[in-house]
Amino acid sequence: MSAIRLPRHLLSAGDLSRDEALLVLDTAEELAQLADRPIKKLPTLRGRTVVNLFFEDSTRTRTSFEVAAKRLSADVINFSAKGSSVSKGESLKDTALTLEAMGADAVVCRHSASGAPHRLAHWIRGSVVNAGDGTHEHPTQALLDAFTMRRRMGRLEGLHVAVVGDVLHSRVARSNTLLLSTLGADVTLVAPPTLLPVGVDSWPCAVSYDLDSVLPKSDVVMMLRVQRERMHASFFPTTREYSRRYGLDARRMANLPDDAIVMHPGPMNRGVEIAAEVADSVRSTIVEQVANGVSVRMAVLYLLLGGALDEEVGA
Amino acid sequence: MTPAQPSGLRPDHGTERPVSGDPAVARPVLEEPDVGRALTRIAHEIVERNRGAGDVVVMGIPTRGVTLARRIRERIVAVEGVEVPVGSVDATMYRDDLRLRGVRPLEETEIPAGGIDGRVVVLVDDVLFSGRTVRAALDALSDLGRPRAVQLAVLIDRGHRELPIRADYVGKNLPTSLRETVHVLLRETDGRDGVLLGPADLGRPPTADTEEAAR
């Protein structure tokens, strides 16, 4: 029996070794079967408390974590910055200590500041799961994307993955690049030069400015949302021009290999980075990704909280 | 219903077992043909007790229980000539000792195509010890459906139950001390068939709970 254990916190997709990442995917594979059963619930995390600490708006990630924790019978507390003491000026640290005092075994944290979950991990005893921090990382998204690719394509090793669009503001792109390179896939980032982060040449991937030259050799195309809410300058002349050069429409999709798939982490801007006909095509895994997100987050919560916690070891 | 007796095998003659902590190597208690004969007898008993195999579904508890379940199913099919579904049920998520050690990897749960509702489910495991794994498997089963009845088949019953659970079909009753370990070897996973009785790992506290985990 393998004795692989995840690190106590899941902060970065880059923290996971190949074996740890595969353990999450294999565990998720077993848990995915639960969706087909009459009783979609397991008693495993009874008595554990999971706090969803969301400082930034989110629909799918927060509900996904909530469903995942509830299917494992954990108690879930949803905490959003709106309507909480944060709006009265409470600091992240004081919020964290309050949650700690309430006995949170895991804190799932989304924050607009890159690195907030890392800070949190120093202050509390429980596990911290990064559910998206600023433009930095979103490790469970990368895990569910890898899970979706492996299910659809049957493998990850040697898979050619194009990640297209607003890489600069994308935590999904960074987490995916780190995780997919650990798992042996070849990642190519495709974006206009203005939407690539400084230092991208040090990432474990290739970079291209030309979508049409990358598509014919891609097994997976992952379209990123143009994150206008984070754009405080002009990164491209017009939406129309961006869409022409970096949007995926039916014409471009026809250049993909026959079995290639199209992914999008959501929420989508239909007509900007992805055409409606592409999003709704058989190649699209967008709805599957949401379903897989629950299985992967269940796997992460089980692997972090299912065994003896650090303070319970030796007890 | 009384627990099945090891009628197909010679009774255990009370051979000497290694003393606690004795570094003697593990000693075979069942050889390859014995394992085969025990499984054949169990298959016949299942058919006899259920008056045929029409409703029977065989579900193994991973990992060796699944191998044994497949072999028992083959034998039932050979005797009865009817199709018998086989599957597996992983009890990991239902265990009561999850928090006593690091997290365990999950094993496969495979529900047979026809499901288990209204069927007679024969749970199969290699060694029956504290009964805690079987308790967890019963809980797991009840989340998968509602069988008409659940029966339990094990290759080895080594005693030391901690819960009111007994097997309906037993390959061999093997009285053991808590300090001993029972190793079931199967061709598919271990290269050969056999059952070994050995002294416990030194330094391990002698409870059925921890020893079951060690095997």
**Displacement of CA A285 from its chain's centroid (Å):** 15
Chain B contact set for A31 (CB, 8 A): 106
Tokens of B125: 């495991």
Would the CB atoms of A30 and B144 count as touching at under 8 Å? no
B139: contact with A, CB 8 A cutoff? yes
DSSP state of A301: H
What's the distance, Cα to Cα, between the start and end of chain A in Å? 23
Q: Evaluate whether residue A1 is within a structural domain.
A: no
DSSP state of B22: -
- Minimal CA separation from A255 to chain B, in Å: 39
pLDDT confidence of residue A91: 86
Give the closest of A26, A37, A307 to B103, CB-based.
A307
Closest residue of A to B141, CA-based?
A: A39
Which of B106, B117, B139 best tests the A interface by mutation, with the highest count of A CBs <10 A?
Answer: B106
Tokens of A174: 């960074």
Q: Evaluate whether residue B91 is within a structural domain.
A: yes
Q: Is the pLDDT of residue A313 over 90?
A: no
Peptide bond into B63 cis (omega under 30): yes
Residue A315: pLDDT band (50, 70, 90) is very low
Same domain, A251 and A116: no
Q: Evaluate whether residue A5 is within a structural domain.
A: no
Q: Evaluate whether residue A261 is within a structural domain.
A: yes
pLDDT confidence of residue B211: 43
Q: Is the pLDDT of residue A198 over 90?
A: yes
Would the CB atoms of B105 and A38 count as touching at under 8 Å? no
Q: What CATH number is given to the structural domain containing A74?
A: 3.40.50.1370
Q: Which residues contact B193 (CB under 8 A, 6 or more apart)?
A: B31, B32, B35, B36, B185, B186, B187
Would the CB atoms of B143 and A37 count as touching at under 8 Å? yes
The number of folded domains in chain A is 2
pLDDT confidence of residue A258: 95
Same domain, A128 and A145: no
**What pTM was computed for the model?**
0.89
In one letter, which amino acid is A9?
A: H
> What is the average pLDDT value for chain A, to the nearest integer?
92
Same domain, A145 and A36: no
Same domain, A128 and A144: no
pLDDT confidence of residue A312: 64
Same domain, A144 and A258: yes
Q: Which residues contact A189 (CB under 8 A, 6 or more apart)?
A: A162, A163, A164, A167, A173, A177, A196, A200, A203, A205, A206, A207, A208
Q: Which spans in B107-200 are helix H?
A: 132-144, 187-190
Give the closest of A26, A27, A308 to B102, CB-based.
A308
User: CA-to-CA distance for B66 and B59, rounded, in angstroms?
Assistant: 7
Specify the residue for token string 């030391």.
B160
Q: Which residues of A are catalytic?
A: 60-61, 88, 110, 138
Would the CB atoms of B106 and A307 count as touching at under 8 Å? no
Q: What CATH number is given to the structural domain containing B71?
A: 3.40.50.2020
Q: Evaluate whether residue B165 is within a structural domain.
A: yes
User: CA-to-CA distance for A115 and A137, rounded, in angstroms?
Assistant: 9
Q: Which residues pair with A251 in a beta bridge?
A: none
Beta strands in chain A (DSSP E): 49-54, 75-80, 106-111, 127-133, 160-164, 186-190, 206-208, 220-223, 261-263
In this structure, the number of other CB atoms found within 10 A of the CB of residue B32 comes to 13
Q: Evaluate whether residue A254 is within a structural domain.
A: yes
B107: contact with A, CB 8 A cutoff? yes
pLDDT confidence of residue A193: 95
Same domain, A108 and A159: no
pLDDT confidence of residue A201: 94
> Shortest CA distance to B102 belongs to which of A48, A1, A65, A19?
A1
Same domain, A168 and A279: yes
B144: contact with A, CB 8 A cutoff? yes
> Tens of pLDDT along chain B (215 residues)?
444 444 434 334 433 334 333 445 788 999 999 999 999 999 999 999 999 999 999 999 999 999 999 999 999 999 999 999 999 999 999 999 999 988 999 999 999 999 999 999 999 999 999 999 999 999 999 999 999 999 999 999 999 999 999 999 999 999 999 999 999 999 999 999 999 998 865 444 445 554 444 44
pLDDT confidence of residue B6: 41
Would the CB atoms of A23 and B105 count as touching at under 8 Å? yes
Q: Which is more confidently placed, B205 or A84?
A: A84
pLDDT (tens digit per residue) in A26-38? 999 999 999 888 8
Q: Evaluate whether residue A6 is within a structural domain.
A: no
Q: Which residues pair with B122 in a beta bridge?
A: B58, B151
Mean pLDDT of A268-291: 95
Same domain, A255 and A266: yes
Q: Is the pLDDT of residue A4 over 70?
A: yes
Residue A229: pLDDT band (50, 70, 90) is confident
Cβ pairs bridging A and B (under 8 Å) = 58
Same domain, A78 and A105: yes
Instruction: Please identify among residues 5-64 of chain A the ones whose CB lies closer than 8 Å to any CB of chain B.
Output: 5-6, 23, 26-27, 30-31, 33, 37-39, 41-44
Looking at this predicted complex, what is its ipTM? 0.86
B59: containing domain: 32-176
Would the CB atoms of B106 and A30 count as touching at under 8 Å? yes
User: CA-to-CA distance for A22 and A25, rounded, in angstroms?
Assistant: 5
Q: Evaluate whether residue B45 is within a structural domain.
A: yes
- Minimal CA separation from A200 to chain B, in Å: 36
Which bin fits B145, alpha (ψ -120 to 50), beta or left (φ > 0)? left
Q: Evaluate whether residue B60 is within a structural domain.
A: yes
Q: Evaluate whether residue A274 is within a structural domain.
A: yes
Q: Evaluate whether residue B116 is within a structural domain.
A: yes
Chain B contact set for A3 (CB, 8 A): 102
User: CA-to-CA distance for A109 and A129, rounded, in angstroms?
Assistant: 6
pLDDT confidence of residue B208: 52
pLDDT (tens digit per residue) in A129-187? 999 999 999 999 999 999 999 999 999 999 999 999 999 999 999 999 999 999 999 99
Q: Evaluate whether residue B191 is within a structural domain.
A: no
User: CA-to-CA distance for A166 and A224, rounded, in angstroms?
Assistant: 6
Would the CB atoms of B99 and A308 count as touching at under 8 Å? yes
pLDDT confidence of residue A59: 84
Instruction: Please identify among residues 63-102 of chain B the ones whose CB lies closer than 8 Å to any CB of chain A.
Output: 90, 93-94, 98-102
Q: Evaluate whether residue B169 is within a structural domain.
A: yes
- Minimal CA separation from A201 to chain B, in Å: 37
The number of folded domains in chain B is 1
Same domain, A149 and A267: yes
A146: containing domain: 139-285
A311: contact with B, CB 8 A cutoff? no
Q: Evaluate whether residue A3 is within a structural domain.
A: no
Same domain, A153 and A237: yes
A79 within 8 A of A136, measured Cβ to Cβ: no
State phi, psi for B123 to the nearest 5 degrees.
Answer: -80, 140
Q: From edge to edge, which strands make up the β-sheet containing A127-133?
A: A75-80, A49-54, A106-111, A127-133
Judging by DSSP bridges, how do beta strands B180-185 and A160-164 pair with one another?
A: unpaired
Closest residue of B to A37, CA-based?
A: B144
Same domain, A131 and A180: no
Which H/E stretch holds residue A141? helix A139-153
What's the CA dihedral at A293, A41, A50, A105 to 10 degrees?
-120
A267 within 8 A of A226, measured Cβ to Cβ: no
pLDDT confidence of residue B24: 55
